[in-house]
Structures are given as C-alpha cells and as structure tokens.
C-alpha cells in the first residue's frame, strides 16, 4: 500500500454522518471511525502526500514521518478510548465536536506547511470550545468564551509569525527554525507555547478544562497541549529558552495543585506540570531528550485521560466536583478507585507503569547533557506529582472522611474505556520496546536498572511519608486560586470601566452606519449567506467582549446558536487568512 489515507478525512466524514444515525448503528459508527483511523496510521508509509500550489505557495497537506506517526498513533488510540467513554451520550453534538477536534489535531500533526497547520489549529480551538460550552451552565459558558478569546489571540500571533516568516524566507514549509530567533520565530513560538500552556500563557487550560462536560474534558486533556508539544518538537528542538520554561512549568503546576480544591482543576494543573517535562526535553534537544519528550507525550495522553476519566466518573455519579464535598467513595466504587490508581501510578512513574519508562528518559537526558539543576528540579516536580495525583486527590475523593455518599460505579462503557487506558499504562511500563520502536530516533536507554528502581521508589515512598506526616496541612480548602487569567478577568473589567464611554460611543456610531447604509444594501443584494455571516461575526465580537468584560446576563441567549455562529466565524477566519496571504504574495 503506497497511498496514504489521511485520518482527518475519516474523522471529518465520520462527523458529518453522526447526526443522521441513531442507536446502535451510531455507536458502531463512532467506534468504527477511530478503529479505521488506528489502522490507517499503523500502515502509513513515510513520505509526502498532497502537494498543492496555492497563491504561488507550495503547500504540503500531509508529511508522514516517524515524529508525526508516533503522535498520530496515540491520537487515534486516544480517540477510540474517548469515544468508548462517551458512548452513553444520546445527543450527537459532543460526538460531532469530538470527531472534528480529533480530526483537526491529526491535521496539525501531518501538516507539512504553516498554512495547513494554521487552518487545523483554528479548527481545534473551535471544535474543542464546543466541549466546554456543552456543559451548559453559566460558568462553563463564561469559561468557554474566555477559552476561545485566548486561543483566537494565540492564533493571531501564530498567523502573524507565519506571515513574517513566509515573507522573509519565501516559503511556508513547516520545519525546524534555523539560526537565531527573530520576530517571526518569537510570534510562532508564542502561538505554540500558548497551546502548550506554558506559563504565563497557561491559565486558559486550568480555567476551562474543569468546566467542560465529563466526557469532553477527557478529549481536551489529550489533544491541544500534545499537538503543541508536537509542533514545538518539530519547529524548535534545542531552543534553550524552552528548557527553563519547561522546568519552571513542571514546578508551577505542582505548586498550584496543592492549593486546588476542584478535582479536575487539580488534574489540569498536572497537565501543565507534565507538559513541562516535554517542553524541557524539546529544549534540551538531544536525540535522547526528544525521544523522551515524544514518548512522555504518548504515555501522558493515556494516563492523563485515565485520570480525567476517573474524576469524571465521580462527577458523573455524584454530581460533585470539590474535594471538600467528596470522600469515602471507595466503599461503593472499588473498580473506579483501582483504575484511577493505575493512572496515578503511571503519572507518578512507579516501576512497571508507563511514566517510569518515559519521564525518566527526559530526566536522564538532562543529566547526560550536564544540566544538574534541571535534573534536580524535574525530580522535585515528580515528588509533587505523586503527592497530588497519587495521594491527595484519591485520599480526599475516595478515602478520607466519609461524605456519606454511596454512589454506584459509573456506566459500563466508562469502565471499559478506563480499563483500556489502564491496560496500556501497565503494558507500556512492563514492555516498553514497542513504544521505543515508534520513537523518532533510535533508543539506547534502559529504564530498568537497580539504581533507577531504588532511587524512584525512594523519591516516591518518602514523598508518601511526607504526606502521612503533614496530612493536616494538605486538607483541601474552599477557595479558588489566582492564576494569570486574573489579568483578563479582573484587569479587563477595570479597563472596561475606564473605557466604557468611548467604547459605547464607538459602538453607537458603528450601528448607526450599519443601519443607515449597510442594511439597505444588504436587503437589496438579498444574500442570505452574507447576512448570516455578518450576524455571526457580530455576535462573536459582542459575545466575547461582553462576557469577558462585563460578565452580563444577556448573552446566555447566544448559547443556543453557538455552533453555527462559530462555524461561520471559523470560515470567516480562514477567508481572512487567505486574503492576508494573497495581499502578501500577489
């Protein structure tokens, strides 16, 4: 088989069909598409597919090589697990969004040029935002608007960087950025690191993921940050800056996790922390470090999804999400506890679990590269990882004081999805050879040496000792933590109070113009499409502004039409991008 079937096509076609199917047929379809995608990626041959000329630029829709294939493999496996977990949902909306989201993520992973990458990059932002909006409550809608606003801003930075880069080099091919970083490279880097949730651009993640639906958060935890890891590994290997941002990030997430009371927000801070290892690995840039970053991304997707599935299952059966309101669930949910703990052991890098064979590769790579401080700080962060995901969260959620809740185990499909992920977490840990064979460079690393095992156990179990001795200090508190989203949640509000008058006057003027001259013109031309377009864009602009700046009530109404509005907005964005390219190159 020489031809390459792009898995994005499978997911996009799959998404189109879902609304027309029902019952068992739809469930079968939802599992068939990810299964086919896994197969397509497994047999894909490295090469370049789909070269097209567009506005005088050579674009490459799919570049297939070892780096893109390892990410595509885990993305397709994850899509199957996520779909099994969400199988009980009757309404099609979230399934469609999840398919579009996964398809876009795969589009980014295979994109050979920046323009293709950008289009799928924006597609991911919109499709994933639906998984937050779908939760439906006021907080989710507000968090969703903030999420979109931040990602659109990041997208603009990325597009700006791409245009500058293209104008300077004459090519939009996506590859390692050569030489010292210039303005174009920094803009692209901002776009990429925003999606990787590198502080200070991290708050969108911990703000929005815990507000998503139970099943949506599982998808969210897997794709956005890891596509960002992929593009960083492709574009910026060996960028010294990333070593320090990555290390800081690993500790940042751990520090915030101590203060956190919301179970999924605690896990979200650990995404920040774990992605820190990957970013640091990419920054170190040796073959071993890049292998470590890639394999850690692979393992991370599976165990983090497992943890989110476990916490999601608890939210699903109890309706509660705060650690202060949970406790004692082990009596009626032993299977959930066990599966969750497998994920917790994997993220903590216990021997015979997946984190042990991947995270240590990054840490050792730092050691071989004579970066003692990085190595020590990353080890410190691993202690924190076990402290929260392996001890604090399960203790207060499943054990600890009895909340009196006696919920049943979650639906069977959820348990099956968690079991698949758990099996992979153990499988990779016990027998890492197949994963190592997938990595972009040849692996000369042996995780199972006696010193490594005893050292890891020492770090982990004496962390547990600290937990046992200082348990009281760790009691969760009824608080929220201030992160960098403060600037656009509080700061923007202050700015609005200051700027409200001129802003209102400007709006008045604009609407006067549109009523007097624009509307009659539109009626004359009577193009329904155009009307929808303007209405949609207007709604987004107003929606984002008002929700974020004033937090008003009115915009809840927008919720109902949100998918169409954002679809229109997305198309408008793509058209704008093409227009800008046309201006630059023609």
Partner 1 sequence: MIARIVSFFGDSKYANLRLRLFYLVLALIVVADFLVPREHVEYLWERLPGWSAVYGFASCVAIIFVSKFLGHQGGLMRPEDYYD
The residues binding partner 1 (CB under 8 A) are 254-259, 328, 330-331, 334-335, 337-338, 367-368, 372, 375-376, 379-380, 383-384, 387, 398-399, 450-451, 454-468, 470, 473-474, 477-482, 489-490, 551
To partner 1, the closest distance from the beta carbon of 468 in angstroms equals: 7
Residue of 483, 477, 496, 574 whose CA lies nearest to 533 = 574
CA–CA dist 461, 149 (Å, integer): 42
To partner 1, the closest distance from the beta carbon of 478 in angstroms equals: 6
Cα angle, residue 428 at apex, residues 423 and 432 outer, rounded to 5°: 155
Residue of 231, 243, 255 whose CA lies nearest to 174 = 231
Choice between 433 and 473, CB closer to partner 1: 473
To partner 1, the closest distance from the beta carbon of 346 in angstroms equals: 18
To partner 1, the closest distance from the beta carbon of 167 in angstroms equals: 41
To partner 1, the closest distance from the beta carbon of 144 in angstroms equals: 15
3-state DSSP assignment of residue 157: helix
Choice between 335 and 582, CB closer to partner 1: 335
DSSP 84-143: HHTTT--SSHHHHHHHHHHHHHHHHHH--BHHHHHHHHHHHHHHHHHHHHTT-SHHHHHH
Q: Which DSSP state fits 44?
A: P
Choice between 298 and 488, CB closer to partner 1: 488
To partner 1, the closest distance from the beta carbon of 440 in angstroms equals: 25
To partner 1, the closest distance from the beta carbon of 319 in angstroms equals: 17
To partner 1, the closest distance from the beta carbon of 241 in angstroms equals: 25
Choice between 155 and 199, CB closer to partner 1: 199
Choice between 155 and 310, CB closer to partner 1: 310
Tokens of 284: 């170190």
Choice between 405 and 460, CB closer to partner 1: 460
To partner 1, the closest distance from the beta carbon of 212 in angstroms equals: 18
287-290: long-range contacts, CB 8 A cutoff, minimum separation 24 = 287/441, 287/442, 288/361, 288/364, 288/365, 288/368, 288/441, 288/444, 288/445, 289/361, 289/362, 289/365, 289/366, 289/369, 290/233, 290/237, 290/440, 290/441
CA–CA dist 80, 78 (Å, integer): 5
Who's near 87: CB < 8 A, 6+ residues apart? 27, 30, 31, 413
Choice between 37 and 309, CB closer to partner 1: 309
Kindly report whether the peptide bond that precedes residue 483 is cis, defined as omega within 30 degrees of 0.
no
Choice between 182 and 319, CB closer to partner 1: 319
Choice between 176 and 458, CB closer to partner 1: 458
- CB-based contact 314:333 (threshold 8 Å): yes
Who's near 105: CB < 8 A, 6+ residues apart? 75, 120, 124, 223, 224, 226, 227
């Amino acid at each position: 088989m020489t031809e390459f079937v792009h898995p994005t096509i499978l997911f996009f076609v799959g998404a189109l069909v879902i609304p027309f199917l029902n019952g068992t047929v739809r469930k079968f379809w939802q599992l068939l598409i990810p299964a086919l995608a896994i197969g397509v990626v497994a047999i894909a041959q490295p090469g370049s597919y789909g070269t097209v000329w567009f506005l005088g630029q050579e674009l490459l829709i799919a570049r297939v090589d070892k780096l893109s294939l390892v990410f595509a493999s885990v993305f397709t496996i994850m899509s199957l697990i996520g779909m099994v977990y969400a199988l009980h949902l009757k309404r099609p909306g979230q399934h469609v969004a999840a398919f579009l989201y996964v398809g876009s993520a795969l589009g980014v992973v295979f994109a050979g040029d920046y323009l293709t990458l950008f289009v799928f990059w924006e597609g991911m932002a919109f499709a994933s935002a639906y998984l937050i909006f779908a939760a439906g409550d006021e907080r989710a809608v507000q968090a969703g608007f903030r999420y979109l606003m931040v990602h659109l801003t990041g997208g603009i930075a990325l597009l700006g960087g791409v245009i500058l880069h293209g104008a300077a080099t004459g090519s939009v091919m996506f590859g390692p950025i050569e030489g010292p970083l210039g303005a174009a490279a920094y803009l692209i880097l901002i776009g990429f690191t925003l999606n990787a949730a590198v502080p200070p651009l991290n708050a969108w993640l911990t703000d929005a993921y815990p507000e998503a639906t139970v099943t949506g958060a599982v998808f969210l935890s897997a794709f956005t940050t890891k596509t960002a890891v992929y593009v960083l590994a492709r574009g910026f290997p060996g960028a010294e800056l990333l070593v320090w941002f990555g290390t800081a990030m690993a500790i940042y997430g751990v520090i915030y996790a101590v203060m956190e009371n919301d179970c999924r927000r605690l896990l979200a801070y650990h995404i920040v922390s774990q992605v820190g290892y990957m970013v640091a690995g990419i920054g170190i840039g040796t073959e071993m470090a890049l292998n470590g970053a890639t394999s850690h991304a692979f393992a991370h997707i599976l165990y983090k999804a497992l943890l989110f599935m476990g916490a999601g299952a608890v939210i699903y059966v109890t309706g509660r999400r705060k650690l202060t309101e949970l406790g004692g669930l082990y009596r009626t949910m032993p299977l959930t506890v066990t599966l969750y703990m497998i994920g917790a052991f994997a993220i903590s890098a216990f021997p015979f679990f997946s984190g042990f064979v991947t995270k240590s590769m990054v840490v050792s790579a730092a050691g071989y590269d004579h970066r003692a401080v990085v190595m020590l700080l990353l080890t410190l962060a691993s202690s924190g990882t076990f402290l929260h995901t392996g001890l604090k969260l399960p203790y207060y959620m499943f054990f600890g004081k009895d909340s009196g809740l006696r919920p049943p185990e979650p639906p069977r499909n959820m348990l099956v999805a968690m079991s698949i992920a758990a099996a992979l977490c153990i499988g990779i840990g016990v027998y890492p050879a197949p994963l190592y064979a997938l990595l972009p460079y040849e692996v000369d690393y042996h995780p199972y040496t006696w010193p490594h095992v005893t050292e890891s156990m020492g770090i982990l179990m004496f962390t547990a000792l600290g937990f046992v001795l200082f348990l009281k200090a760790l009691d969760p508190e009824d608080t929220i933590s201030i992160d960098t989203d403060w600037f656009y949640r509080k700061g923007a509000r202050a700015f609005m109070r200051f700027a409200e008058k001129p802003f209102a006057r400007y709006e008045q003027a604009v609407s006067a113009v549109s009523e007097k001259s624009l509307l009659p013109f539109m009626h004359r031309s009577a193009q329904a499409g155009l009307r929808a377009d303007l209405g949609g864009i207007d709604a987004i602009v107003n929606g984002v502004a008002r929700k974020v700046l004033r937090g008003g009530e009115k915009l809840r109404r927008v919720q109902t039409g949100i998918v169409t509005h954002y679809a229109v907005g997305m198309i408008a964005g793509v058209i704008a991008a093409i227009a800008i390219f046309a201006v630059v190159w023609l």
